[in-house]
Structure 1
Amino acid sequence: MSLLQKGWRPVSVLILLLIIWQVLSRVFAIPEWLLPTPTQIGIEAWQSWPDYRSHLFATIQLSIIGLLIGSSIGLGVAICLHLVPKLRETFYPLLILSQNIPIIVLAPLLVIWFGFGLLPKLIIIILVCFFPITIAGLDGFRQTSGELLHYMKMAGATKRQIFWKLEWPHAMPSIFSGLKIAATYSVMGAVISEWLGAQDGIGVYMTLASSSFRTAQVFVTIFLIMGLSLVFFAGIVFWEKRVIRWKTSGGGNADG
């Protein structure tokens, strides 16, 4: 019920924008090939469902696999850099540099090195997903209460106990923040990877629609990408509320 109470405002704004779009397109008689109306896009989405259905499922599968692998790598890197300070001092600047390489430039090189199979596409999604999770995890570990950390050391807790019973629970909100970002990036990463020369996927469908000047189909793919990103984001929020019950309930038993 709270979700419905909070969600009506953005939904209302979205509906208002679509109405304005529809009215202005009709008033100024904008041709469909230049800017289709929302109703034309909706009709195209309904009629073309058999055409892009397989592309949609292919992108969903690729995004989920890349997100799972990228999240696992991101968490593993964050834990290693946190537990071994010398590794963090050595590799942290390299993490920053890895994000300064444009994906659109790196993509052709991955095709040359690994071919047109699944591997280069997964590498692209992993590259855009692991970084926000790694940075968010490291920040979460550093935000652990110094007083609680001192108390556990005084109580004779081992480094492993301190990590799993104190630092890990306190870092969970930050980690889920990174997961939310990575979840939305995974869809765009999948679409970019499909531009490399895949046989199916939303990126392929968008390329075909754009090359044939089917503007309505291009907008359908745009809305599909936006919708998938929202669904993935909502999925992370769903799991966050169930994993971090101590935070949502207002309690302080992080290690319970």
Structure 2
Amino acid sequence: MSLIWNKVWPPLVAVLFFLVIWQLSTSLFNIEEWILPAPSDIAREASAQSARLWEHTLATVKLTLGGFIIGTGVGLFIAFVLHRLSFLHSALYPLLILSQNVPTIALAPLLMIWFGFGLLPKLIVITLVCFFPVAVAAMDGFRQTDRTMLEYMRMIGATKGQIFTKLELPHALPSIFSGIRIAATYSVMGAVIAEWVGSDRGIGYYMMLQKASYRTDRMFLSISIIVILSLMMHTAIVLLEKSLIRWNSTQER
């Protein structure tokens, strides 16, 4: 418990200090609320908009979780296939890199044209954001397998399936979870971008409405919710990793 507290309190103090400076600055310099609202103004608006915000946040959470699960699964599948079929790795890996050079915000409208304004194009947007870090991290983890142990298992007659499940996969788990942590954070961003392009609910949709009405306080409120959701996703994956890879957590301590 003390170890967790030692990791939590420094950033917590830094955030509180930043909020105090922000609050004092808006008062001392008489900054207009429509330019930069004070934290107290944002908190007051959060209370006033709580019911509406809960509805939009819940929609974003559902979309985020669905896209994140699909994106992670796709990333792991691609990593497994390219790891087992080395000739495909050389042919397809450059295409994976190219897929990340197209801005998501530019690709999303195309997906809406092709697949309509339903759930499918939004899930595709989040999948495109999430799969790459998972795939790359997993492939790196597979490649870093202990060669001595690999040769030993081959020597004693282990099958490819046994080598993968008993050696390569466990050895790659820390790398895989590194990619999943990144994907978890990106998934919220992907959901918001998808909601920007075409949706009638969600935090992204709520942000677009507030931008059109110049409600800066509500824009900051939306950003705060996005940050909190990203932190929650990241924390959930960290806790899952520690529960599944106890030997790695022990080494870190």
TM-score by length of 2: 0.97
Query: Are 2:116 and 1:87 aligned?
Result: no
Q: What amino acid does structure 1 have at the position aligned with 2:188?
A: V
Instruction: Tell me how far apart the structure 1 counterparts of residues 125 and 251 of structure 2 sit (CA, whole Å).
Output: 38
Task: State whether structure 2 residue 243 is matched by structure 1 residue 234.
Answer: no
Q: Distance in 2 between matches of 1:52 and 1:42?
A: 13
State the partner residue of 1:120.
121
1:60-81 CA-to-partner distances (Å, cap 9, x unmatched) read 0000000000001100110010
Aligned to 1:38: 39
- The answer to whether structure 1 residue 104 and structure 2 residue 105 are counterparts is yes
The equivalent of 1:78 in structure 2 is: 79
> Which residue is 2:13 aligned to?
12
Which residue identity is paired with 2:124?
I
Deviation of the 1:118 alpha carbon:
0.5
Q: What are structure 1's unaligned runs of at least 5 residues? A: 252-256
Q: Does 2:175 align with 1:178? A: no
1:223 aligns to 2:224 (yes or no): yes
Identity %: 53
Which stretch of structure 1 is more off in the superposition, 97-106 or 242-251? 242-251
The Cα offsets for residues 16-44 of structure 1, whole Å up to 9 and x where unpaired, read as 01111111111100000100001111111
Secondary structure of the structure 2 residue equivalent to 1:96: helix
Number of paired residues? 251
User: 1:58 is matched with which residue?
Assistant: 59
Query: What is aligned with 2:27?
Result: 26
Q: CA deviation at 1:246?
A: 2.0
Q: Which residue of 1 aligns with 2:150?
A: 149
d(CA) in 2 for partners of 1:144 and 1:110?
38
Matches of 1:126 and 1:83, distance apart in 2: 22
User: Structure 2: which 5+ runs fail to align?
Assistant: none
In structure 1, how many angstroms separate the alpha carbons of the residues matched to 2:186 and 2:98?
18
CA distance in 2, matches of 1:190, 1:205: 13
Q: Quick one: distance in 2 between partners of 1:8 and 1:41? A: 23
Give distance in 1, aligned partners of 2:229 and 2:140.
Answer: 28
Amino acid at match of 1:31: E
Distance in structure 1 (CA, Å) of the matches to 2:251 and 2:204: 43
Q: How does 1:202-213 map to 2 (within 5 A)?
A: 202-213=203-214
Distance 1:106 1:227 in 2: 26
The CA deviation at 1:156 is 1.2
CA distance in 2, matches of 1:150, 1:86: 22
1:200 aligns with 2:201: yes
- Counterpart residue identity of residue 155, structure 1: I
CA distance in 2 between partners of 1:145 and 1:39 (Å): 54
CA offsets, 1:194-230, max 9 Å, x none?
0112010000100001110111000000000000000
Q: Please report how far the alpha carbon of residue 250 of structure 1 lies from its aligned counterpart in structure 2 after TM superposition.
A: 3.6
**Aligned-residue CA RMSD in angstroms?**
1.0
Residue type at the aligned position of 2:73:
S
TM-score (norm 1): 0.96
